[in-house]
Structure 1
Amino acid sequence: MAGTITRVGTCARRLAQVGIKAAGVTLSWSTSLAPIAQGLERTNFHGRTVSLRGGVGAAAGAVMAAIEVGRLTRDASAPALSAPRRGARVGLAATLATAAGGCAGLVDDLDAGAHDGDAPAKGLKGHLSALAQGRVTTGVLKIAVIGSGALIGGVLLARHRSAGAGGRPLAASAADAVSSAVVIASWANLLNLLDLRPGRALKAASIVSAPLLATPGADGEPTRLLAAGTLGVSLTALPEDLLENTMLGDTGANAVGALLGTSLACHPRPVVRAGAALGGVGLILISEKVSFSRVIADTPVLAALDGLGRRP
């Protein structure tokens, strides 16, 4: 009984540690940029001036969460100079994927469509069509950078699971790596697609990450810790986002989405990973034809949740 209580207490302490550090970095970066963030100001859909400093802060907090998870999940029994320790692969996967999402998003935010040509490229189809015509938009750059970060992260997560299983056939590891990469990349993009109204993307990240805190077992610890980081960033950035003082932009949405995607991709249950992959890809494809904002507005429960806490 005492041992169980001790384990639960340790688990809760580690979750709080990741969440608090992620929240602290998110808040400090966003606040410190306020006096010098004139170049980060944008006009939102209401015509109000908002700052992308919130997105930069969220990206910084997401990267810090990933780094902290890597530190906490290292296998202490491994030799000090072993490279890499098994547990560290999860943190490295999350760090690379999150940093790739944040950096690619920042380039897109700063470019503000300057390289899209006369007709701004919209959605996955629009950017791929522009590429087919010889125009390299920042959206195409995002696909390449986020995709690369997700693929490397997927390989690291597959190796993490393979090491835990005592080795697997190459084909099984390759399939695992690809499916994990799909989860990370699709959720990084999906959260960006949801960032069309104040607070929407951050609410979605919070709703999805909260149940992951209850992922059972020792193998579920990386998922729990990454979810705690996602929740810490999201809840910290949410108030100013709802008040329309700041916005996530591509910088914050892609980074937080990549962190959430990595949390889902390292879930110990294959059915959860498969569901996350199908759900992420499916919603992205649906978004090419259907407006999320219209569906939310036409669904009373979703509309109420979407507008909760938002500035009139």
Structure 2
Amino acid sequence: MVGGRTSRSFLLAAALTRAGQALLDAAPPGGRERWERTNHAGRTVGLYAGPAAALGAALAAGRVHPGAGLAVLAAGACGAYDDVAGDHRRGFRAHLGALRDGDVTSGAVKLFGISAAGLVAGALMKERPLDRLLAGVVIAGSAHLVNLVDVRPGRAVGAVLALGAPGLVREGAGGELAAGAMGAAVGVLPEDLGARVMLGDTGAHALGAALGAAVVAGNRRAGLLAHAVALVAAARYGDRVSAWARAL
């Protein structure tokens, strides 16, 4: 059963996300054109959903645990940098290869930035060194996973809702963090499904980090290890994961 604190986390994240999206849509900083992108179908969509979802999820997560809020905010910030300065190279190998050649890509910034944020959050949320390391992998891996499936309208939001739902049955911080991630996802759901906005890397990474923080808060070492292995495998076969999400 979903408790009162869990419900409040869901409602808070959803309300903050809706309000943030409305404000950005009404008065986009720098002009509307700066916030417009072309989606896979050639339609012009707004990027308002990403920052709104990141802020809603971060504030809801920070209310539960400061480390979780930090991870979500940092993941969203790294994603925002890629949305603005992205060079569209795909895959870790491409970005690491460019880094070896002295080219610091936006993808490399995301990789190291989100990984560092995950490790810091893991250190704040867990006590033992191995648990802290696994927590960092889970948070960073979850941020990457949601971004991998953000290939069509509704895919990333649907993944957050599906993956977060089991966490609602947990009592305590794990359930509250899962609810916050889901609330932020629901906040952008109508516009995302209608292909009027897109999450971009900002929203996808933030929502993924929020899910990862929920997993960290709700699991001990065995659970963390299982999730970490699954997320590393998903990253290893990222192209297949994206193709599967695209085919749904």
TM-score scaled by length of structure 1: 0.75
Aligned residues with identical type, % of pairs: 36
Provide the alpha-carbon RMSD of the alignment: 1.5
1:121 counterpart letter in structure 2: R
Residue 189 (structure 1) aligns with: 144
Do structure 1's residue 47 and structure 2's residue 78 form an aligned pair?
no
Match of 2:130 in 1: 175
Q: Deviations over 1:40-62 (max 9, x none)?
A: 11000000001110111110111
Greater Cα shift, 232-241 or 270-279: 270-279
For each residue in 1:137-194, what CA deviation from the matched residue of structure 2 results, as whole angstroms up to 9, or x when unmatched? 11111112111110101111222xxxxxxxxxxxxx1111111100000000111111
User: Which structure has the larger Rg over C-alpha atoms?
Assistant: 1
CA distance in 2, matches of 1:52, 1:28: 15
Q: How does 1:46-195 map to 2 (within 5 A)?
A: 46-69=41-64, 91-113=65-87, 120-159=88-127, 173-195=128-150
Alpha-carbon displacement from aligned partner over 1:239-287 (angstroms, at most 9, x marks no partner): 1101011110000001010010011112234332222111111111011
The residue that corresponds to 1:266 in the other structure is: 217
Q: CA deviation at 1:208?
A: 0.8
The answer as to whether partners of 2:131 and 2:221 remain within 8 angstroms in 1 is: no
Match of 1:285 among 225, 236, 242: 236
* Residue pairs, 1:225-304, within 5 angstroms: 225-288=176-239, 290=240, 292-294=242-244, 297=247, 303=248
1:27 pairs with 18, 24, 29, which one? 18
What number of residue pairs does the alignment pair up? 244
Q: Distance in 2 between matches of 1:15 and 1:112?
A: 36
For residue 209 of structure 1, what is the aligned residue in structure 2?
Answer: 164
Residue 121 of structure 1, CA deviation: 2.0
Change (3 A) 1:51 1:295: closer
Give the counterpart letter for 1:21 in structure 2: L
Higher RCO (C-alpha 8 Å, min separation 6): 2
Distance in structure 1 (CA, Å) of the matches to 2:105 and 2:175: 36
Unaligned runs of 5+ in 2: none
Amino acid at match of 2:89: A
2:169 partner amino acid:
A
2:150 is the alignment partner of 1:199: no
Length-normalised TM-score, structure 2: 0.94
